[in-house]
A = this chain, B = another copy of it.
Amino acid sequence: VVFEPDDVVVPGQPGELLLDLAGAAGIPLLSECGGQGTCGSCRVLVQRGRVSFADQAGREEEITAPREVLACQTAAAGDLVVRIPPEARLRPLHQRITGYLGPEARVYLQEPHQGMPLARRLALELAPPSFDDPTPDWERLAMGLRHACGAERNLTANLDVLREMPRLLRELDFKVSVTVLDEGWQDRLIALGKPDGDPLLGLALDIGTTNIKAELVDLGSGRVLGGASEFNAQARYGEDVISRIIWAQEHEWGADELQDALVTSVNTVIGELLKQTQAAQEQIVAVSCAGNATMISFRLRLPADAIRRAPHVAPVGLPPTVQAGMLGLDTHPAAGVYCLPAINGYVGGDISGGILATGMFAAEDLRALVDVGTNGEIVVGNRDWRMCCACSAGPAFEGMGIECGLPARPGAIESLRYESEHDCVDVRTIGEELPVGVCGNGLAETLATLLDAQVIDRAGNLVAEFPSPRMRQADGEMQFVLLWSDQNATGRDLVLRQSEIDNLIRAKAAVFAALVTLLEELGLSTGDIGHFYLAGAFGSHLDVRTAIKIGLLPDLPAERVTVAGNTALAGAYLTLLSSEARDEIQKLARATTYMDLSTSSRFMEEYIAAQMLPHTNLERFPSLAPDNAGPEWGNSLNR
């Protein structure tokens, strides 16, 4: 039986009720009357397939056109496709925040290329000890485990588990489930329990400089159960990694305080996920963690000083798997924390995750990955070689330093259109909730729509004489009202200020300049690139034309661009589920070369030239009609 739109398949026996099958698929349904067939709350849509009706003495019927049925009164009698409407769900359908997974990457979600998830559970039935076989408990368990794995894996265990082992084995009559962590060349036994426990969960985590995003994943099925994001509380110690490294160095307990701030934020996200999914903390037994090298260093309280000095060396590329309890995470205390390998101090596991998730690592043609975060990172290459660079973009597109900005979460505006004729703003928010602010996507669209409407000129200046009450002067600068106080949930007008627009333009200019510089240093041009991936602060809903219009991307045919969303999180998701993906990412990180732009004069020239919308040199954007140029760009360039 296939359940849509979750796209989950469960095997069923003829006669099993759809209500139970949906539960088995991890999609519990409302059932207010307790399965009596009276309340109608479990109404679902059978798309096609053969069913039998319990309330009609098991009468079977082949369904060819979609039909509404009660899940508590309808059983499968053959292959079925069933759509579950939002109103029948016990838990809301989660908004998937993981980024794009290319076809080369998706193989890791299927056998034979999946291998092992970071943590897995195996049920063992061991022979009890006897005088003929007095093998010690641990060796007995290890033998059973090797037998169940079908492979001669090295095995170790935490002392805590060994201390519980003799009692548990005997209480459970030597029929137990073991939870083991894949640490590469060894498995670690981290928990022991009844054969039928709650599902094992894993956390795919992206620790960004500004935002922390996570998804909770069923390690058995790979299904994403929930997603959440939160500002990184470290922001109060500095906007970017450099200022935080300096802060940590200059304060006696600086590194501890920064780590604590990070733990608090990550635990907030975990708490939100547990609430969303009604799961228990102890179910989370694995964490796969993407992030730049500074964030990972702060995470593990490794000194990050060397990162900020040339040649920007990370303390650790691929850290050993660490026990979550040692890092203060609100998970199972023995959960394994795996970190995606960094390429360099400035190009971290978020980028190796992106190279993995987009499938760039396996591409024959030339590809480019542009990841816009508080730092911008660019990778160019294919399966044989890859070059990367980094630039400081600032956190504007992540919603930091923009009063109305916020990370992508329910209530965040991800799409915004301004229609000057009726002076009207049309928005779409995540979760279709009342607007509370604007996330990266929405900020990019806001720039584009305000440029289209000539509310701002090509230099990004708010045009003071624009005929709308939304345009006003306040606090010594111009601002434009996006939503009036009665149209949003904050109780105040949502505005975009001149200084905020300047931040957004500087961010896109840095990323564009880095991309162009890297390509030119390699003797390449944008035309050589078979496919572009735009990743980072933007969700996958960002329109490619919008990104080109504001000069975030070069002027390319839309079919050569994928707005890939959070590919770091997608990489964390893959490495959470697949040992082969973990092997691959380590290889690809080693085979990716860093190029330093900090001393490149070409980069500075490109950066200055990119400070307009879309660019100073319009010849680089031939597809944009000249009438987009706006009335007074010549002047404002010198502002």
Contacts and interface: CB of A to CB of B under 8 A. Distances in A.
Interface in A318-332: 318-320, 322, 326
A167 B297 CA distance: 14
Given A165-B315, A311-B131, A306 B185 contact: no
Contacts of A154: 184-186
A300 interface: yes
Given A302-B163, A326-B159, A316 B186 contact: no
Contacts of A342: 136
A260 interface: no
B134 A315 contact: no
B311 A129 contact: yes
A162 B315 contact: yes
Interface string A122-152: 0000000111001111110000000000000
A373 interface: no
A160 to B, nearest CB: 10
A57 interface: no
Contacts of A165: 302, 315
B134 A320 contact: no
A136 B315 contact: yes
Contact of A134 (B185, B302, B316, B594): B594
Contact of A300 (B159, B166, B302, B311): B159
A166 B302 contact: yes
Given A186-B185, A302-B162, A303-B163, A314 B345 contact: no
A157 interface: yes
| Chain A interface size, under 10 / 10 to 19 / 20 to 34 / 35 or more | 35 or more
Interface in A279-305: 293, 300-303, 305
B137 A313 contact: yes
Interface string A264-276: 0000000000000
A314 B136 contact: yes
A194 interface: no
A170 interface: yes
A318 B185 contact: no
Contacts of A138: 315-319
Nearest to A165: B315
A567 interface: no
A596 interface: yes
Nearest to A594: B134
Contacts of A345: 134, 136
A312 interface: yes
Contacts of A137: 306, 313-316
B316 A136 contact: yes
A162 B186 CA distance: 20
A600 to B, nearest CB: 12
A638 B165 CA distance: 49
Given A136-B315, A303-B163, A131 B320 contact: no
Nearest to A155: B320
A156 interface: yes
Contacts of A300: 159, 162-163
Contacts of A156: 320
Nearest to A318: B139
B316 A596 contact: no
Contacts of A306: 129, 137, 166, 170
A317 B166 contact: no
A522 interface: no
Contact of A136 (B135, B313, B320): B313
Contacts of A167: 303, 305
Nearest to A141: B316
A179 interface: no
A162 B131 contact: no
A310 interface: yes
A344 interface: yes
Interface in A322-352: 322, 326, 342, 344-345
Nearest to A183: B156
Contacts of A135: 313, 317
Contacts of A315: 136-138, 162, 165-166
Interface string A9-48: 0000000000000000000000000000000000000000
A487 B386 CA distance: 85
Contacts of A163: 300-303
Contact of A131 (B129, B136, B322, B596): B596
Nearest to A137: B315
B318 A130 contact: no
Given A137-B316, A159-B302, A163-B301, 10 more contacts: A131-B311, A134-B345, A137-B315, A138-B317, A138-B318, A159-B301, A163-B302, A165-B315, A166-B305, A170-B306
29 contacts: A129-B306, A129-B311, A130-B311, A131-B310, A131-B311, A134-B311, A134-B344, A134-B345, A135-B313, A135-B317, A136-B316, A136-B317, A138-B315, A138-B318, A154-B184, A154-B185, A156-B320, A157-B320, A159-B302, A159-B320, A159-B326, A162-B300, A162-B302, A162-B316, A162-B319, A163-B301, A163-B303, A166-B306, A185-B186
